[in-house]
Structure 1
Amino acid sequence: MSGATNAPLSGAYRVVWRWHFYAGLLVLPFLMMLAITGGLYLFASEIDDLAARPLNVVTPGPERVSADRWVAAARVAADGQPVAVRVPDRPDRAVQVVVQPEDGARRAVFVNPYDGQVSGVAGAPLSDTFKRIHSLEIFGGGLNVVIEIVAGWAIILVATGVFLWWPRGRKGGVVSLSTRDPARRPFWRDLHAVTGIFAGGVIVFLAATGMLWSAVWGDQVMGTLRAAGLGRPPAPAAQNWEHAHHAPTPEGLGWTMQGSVLSAPESRLDLDAVLATAAARQVAAPFTVNLPSRPDEAVSVAVRNTRVEDSRTLYTDGTGRLLGDIRYEQYGWAARMFEWSIFTHQGTQYGTINRIVMLLACLAVWMMGISAMVMWWKRRPTGRLAAPVAPPGPRARAAVLGIVLPLAILYPLTGLSLLAAVAVDRLWRLVRRPAAA
């Protein structure tokens, strides 16, 4: 690094460097994939609108036809059970009725709200593909455990990187690029360090908030908050919340209300009455109306908001009678904090500046990944992985434990993967020792 002395590297420095190398080897490919899909997802609404424009654009008419006609037309067009209705915020956009066919693949039916005609049927929006890859569902199906391991190691990567960057006897750490020849390794080392020190905080924030989507840590936190009364508010009208075990679960409810359904007196669904109640309660579009899966289940109207303060879900029976109006102010303090972190993570909480900061963080991940690969390529010995040599001694090991042990305790799956990495590292050294003798 710029300004470094010729003093030999300490044992603690070398062992932290070794684990920084391994952390990068393990998670950088994942992080670079997350950066691409996350960067694209920042523009999800624009991408989806552009991709669906041939089906989505309608000519506004004097008045809308009955909402029940939307649902009936969608049922025929997609040959399945309607489960949700997405109401747009623009008069020149179609209503989307989400239909669940018997084969299980959900489809969106685009219906002209003014004449009830179907303009087309489409599968999941393009942004859903980005989201599935970004949440690493492709590695775990419905039980996502990989995201917790990757996010935990990403935090370890940043923490060990800060340790390596720390000045230690120099006037200051590297905060600008060297003017040396870019073809030499010091340029790439400085680029890696400068990018990491400026973007590291945002990357840690993204990794920590990404844990909320994990199958172990995220579910445990949600359950703990609910049990302590710090998350989801009490059910309205002296009822109890139920978890939607049927498929699909209601969409658009947010992290706090995810999967929450409410019972209601049995009644025939009158979607026009539900929309009238939403209008009377001044629920602003866009919003999603989740249709009940059984006659004694409430209808939920979820606002598709971009800021945590606008979080809101209405519950009615089939006749439109209001059962509950759940707003942000009713959330527990922990739920508010976590919901805020999710909206900030997705780049919507603070508008354009929020999206720009998150996009820059995505670009920074790629810059660090490329610079790390270039540095490794320039220093690699022939026939070896080129991991920094770990010196013996408890003091050197304590340096790593002081960084990673608290994270391993906080995130159990990260801790288990760390134990596995230590075991593999030990086994590798035992195998190589006789060969070197």
Structure 2
Amino acid sequence: MVSINASGAPERPAAPAGAGKLYLAAWRWHFYAGLYVIPFFILLALSGMSMTWIAYLDGRDGEYTRVAVGEAVLPVSVQAEAAVAAIPGGTLIQYVAPRGPGLASIFRVDTGDVASMVTVDPYTAQVLDAFPRRSGWYDFLDNLHGDLLLGVTGDRMIEIAASLGMVLIVSGLYMWWPRQAGWRAALVPALGRGGRVAWRSLHGVLGFWISLVLVFFLVSGLSWAGVWGEKFVQAWSQFPAEKWDNVPLSDDLHASMNHGPKEVPWALEQTPMPASGSQAGAPGLPADQEIGLDSMDRLARRIGFDGRYQMNLPSGASGVYTFSRDSMSTDSPDPTSDRTVHVDRYTGNILADVRYEDYSWAGKAMAVGIALHMGTMGLWSVLANTVVCLSVVFLCVSGVVMWWIRRPAGQPRLAPPPLPRDMPLWRGAVLVALAVSLAFPMAGITLVAVLAIDQLVIARIPALRRVLN
């Protein structure tokens, strides 16, 4: 393992030659991956931490709007009439039930392509506020966190950063793994010597401790990404087809219910929506009962949707009423209580009742993983996420500080770790890089691009070689 002398400069490793050269190769990849990753990780950590606190303290789309508790809650249809009247020419899209007796009901009303949220006092049907959907600070940070406000381009940039983050973790663990110094040096920071040695110890120890947590955050975040998630992982985690036996299906997928940020549970996104217009399904409403907001709300309550839940109204002739509750939407702090129910708009029959227990193992892991990732499981998860986010920021800052101390003073050079020559274990390094590339395609594409630029551009331009080496 490479040691550090009193001046802070790396010495030649005392380990066997082959292992020492592999260490230098890992250090060099760690350095170059960090160049790209650090600004993204700082942004992701700070935006993610802010979102967890905003969601916990203030919610989104008016979900914590307070009201005085009255004698009786008015029918949902009466509240909805007031909400639609507040948006001239609007169409009712969604009802979000309050999670408690002292909170407002929320209605989504659309006019053309504009979605508005209207908060209504459930005891008086008084409209309290109306505002554009997903327009608060939480959603600004959510869009920044998800795609840098750049759409698909930003999504790909963040996916590359998260994928290269796996390279950082693998190379960092390899470098910090105790060989001669023992486990105490790997697990307890040595602060007594000060300078770069202390920074390196803090960086290595903290990175070692949170490595598995960081892998979890990266994988759960990548599962929503456009390439690794939607095309590489999620496509292989289809919802069990037997749940839809003898039920007419729409041409639309559950993903069509997403509007901007992800809203539909990961396990259901690629699953077709049921369609209204048949006699299929289990009995829901009595045949002689009128179908509408009030009867649907009573049905939802009767089958177990207590507290906050969401009711999406049918869209189109074959559309269905959809009741849903999931921790990702902060409906519940318990991801194992996730549930989605589709009801035929004409018969009131229940076409599908999808629960957490019905998810595949990947879907279950994602339901719990996203709740942990977003910190929606209560105050303890908010505090835990805060610790992780601050740790990530420290790792990024300490990496920059170590480079600043190590760099040649007064020289306009990037000064990466030295490139090892004649490395006997190069096949092992290539196999590790190949494994990471296959597991995370965007990392592989980036590694190939960097190697190509290095060989075809930087190696041929002396001025660039001097600055970047």
Taking structure 1 as the reference length, the TM-score comes to: 0.88
1:38-53 paired onto structure 2 within 5 Å: 38-49=48-59, 52=62
Deviations 1:254-305 (A, max 9, x none): 1112375321129996111110101111212211111122132111110123
User: Which residue of structure 2 lines up, in the alignment, with residue 201 of structure 1?
Assistant: 212
User: Residues 333, 181 of structure 1: CA spacing in aligned structure 2 closer, same or farther, 3 A cutoff?
Assistant: closer
User: Which residue of structure 1 lines up, in the alignment, with residue 226 of structure 2?
Assistant: 215
Q: CA deviation at 1:181?
A: 5.4
1:254-333 paired onto structure 2 within 5 Å: 254-258=265-269, 261-265=273-277, 270-303=292-325, 304-318=331-345, 320-333=348-361
The SS at the match of 2:58 is helix
User: Which residue of structure 1 lines up, in the alignment, with residue 458 of structure 2?
Assistant: 428
Q: CA deviation at 1:49?
A: 4.0
The SS at the match of 2:79 is helix
Q: CA deviation at 1:71?
A: 2.6
Q: Equivalent of 1:179, from 177, 180, 191?
A: 191
User: Which residue of structure 2 lines up, in the alignment, with residue 98 of structure 1?
Assistant: 108
Q: CA deviation at 1:3?
A: 7.8
Q: Does 1:345 align with 2:379?
A: no
CA distance in 2, matches of 1:329, 1:341: 15
User: Residues 109, 323 of structure 1: CA spacing in aligned structure 2 closer, same or farther, 3 A cutoff?
Assistant: same
User: Residues 81, 144 of structure 1: CA spacing in aligned structure 2 closer, same or farther, 3 A cutoff?
Assistant: farther
Cα contact 1:149–1:414 (8 A) shared by 2: yes
User: Which residue of structure 2 lines up, in the alignment, with residue 417 of structure 1?
Assistant: 446
User: Which residue of structure 1 lines up, in the alignment, with residue 95 of structure 2?
Assistant: 85
Cα contact 1:70–1:111 (8 A) shared by 2: yes
1:373-392 paired onto structure 2 within 5 Å: 373-381=400-408, 382-392=411-421
Q: Equivalent of 1:144, from 143, 155, 160?
A: 155
Q: CA deviation at 1:50?
A: 9.1
Q: Equivalent of 1:400, from 429, 434, 450?
A: 429
Q: Equivalent of 1:112, from 99, 104, 121?
A: 121
The SS at the match of 1:84 is strand
Q: CA deviation at 1:246?
A: 5.6
Deviations 1:181-235 (A, max 9, x none): 54x1111111111111111111111101111111112112222221xx5x67622
CA distance in 1, matches of 2:257, 2:355: 25
Cα contact 1:380–1:386 (8 A) shared by 2: yes
CA distance in 1, matches of 2:151, 2:269: 20
Cα contact 1:95–1:113 (8 A) shared by 2: yes
Q: CA deviation at 1:252?
A: 4.6
User: Which residue of structure 1 lines up, in the alignment, with residue 237 of structure 2?
Assistant: 225
Deviations 1:410-433 (A, max 9, x none): 121221111112122333233238
User: Residues 298, 335 of structure 1: CA spacing in aligned structure 2 closer, same or farther, 3 A cutoff?
Assistant: same
Q: Equivalent of 2:137, from 126, 132, 137?
A: 126
User: Residues 139, 390 of structure 1: CA spacing in aligned structure 2 closer, same or farther, 3 A cutoff?
Assistant: farther
Letter in 1 for 2:273: V
Cα contact 1:236–1:323 (8 A) shared by 2: no
Query: Which range is displaced more, 127-136 or 284-293?
Result: 127-136
User: Which residue of structure 2 lines up, in the alignment, with residue 34 of structure 1?
Assistant: 44
Identity %: 26
User: Residues 48, 218 of structure 1: CA spacing in aligned structure 2 closer, same or farther, 3 A cutoff?
Assistant: same
User: Which residue of structure 2 lines up, in the alignment, with residue 365 of structure 1?
Assistant: 392
User: Which residue of structure 2 lines up, in the alignment, with residue 167 of structure 1?
Assistant: 178
User: Residues 309, 117 of structure 1: CA spacing in aligned structure 2 closer, same or farther, 3 A cutoff?
Assistant: same
Q: Which runs of 5+ in 1 are unaligned?
A: none
Q: CA deviation at 1:52?
A: 4.5
| Aligned-residue RMSD, C-alpha | 3.0
Deviations 1:383-413 (A, max 9, x none): 0111112123353643532433211101212
Letter in 1 for 2:306: A
CA distance in 2, matches of 1:347, 1:118: 31
- Structure scoring higher RCO (CA < 8 A, sep ≥ 6) equals 1
Letter in 1 for 2:27: W
CA distance in 1, matches of 2:428, 2:35: 20
User: Residues 222, 377 of structure 1: CA spacing in aligned structure 2 closer, same or farther, 3 A cutoff?
Assistant: same
CA distance in 2, matches of 1:232, 1:216: 24
Letter in 2 for 1:309: T
Deviations 1:99-133 (A, max 9, x none): 2232x342211111222221111232432222222
Cα contact 2:267–2:360 (8 A) shared by 1: no
Letter in 2 for 1:312: R
User: Which residue of structure 2 lines up, in the alignment, with residue 25 of structure 1?
Assistant: 35
CA distance in 2, matches of 1:408, 1:61: 60
Cα contact 2:118–2:130 (8 A) shared by 1: yes
Q: CA deviation at 1:48?
A: 2.7
Letter in 1 for 2:310: T
The SS at the match of 1:324 is strand
User: Which residue of structure 2 lines up, in the alignment, with residue 13 of structure 1?
Assistant: 23
Cα contact 1:143–1:215 (8 A) shared by 2: no
CA distance in 2, matches of 1:169, 1:276: 68
Q: Which runs of 5+ in 2 are unaligned?
A: 14-19, 279-288, 326-330
User: Residues 75, 218 of structure 1: CA spacing in aligned structure 2 closer, same or farther, 3 A cutoff?
Assistant: same
Letter in 2 for 1:326: V
CA distance in 1, matches of 2:392, 2:193: 23
CA distance in 2, matches of 1:82, 1:39: 33
The SS at the match of 1:157 is helix
User: Which residue of structure 2 lines up, in the alignment, with residue 243 of structure 1?
Assistant: 253
Q: Equivalent of 2:81, from 61, 67, 72?
A: 72
Letter in 2 for 1:264: S
CA distance in 1, matches of 2:39, 2:82: 45
Deviations 1:56-94 (A, max 9, x none): 211222222232233332223234332211111111111
CA distance in 1, matches of 2:425, 2:417: 13
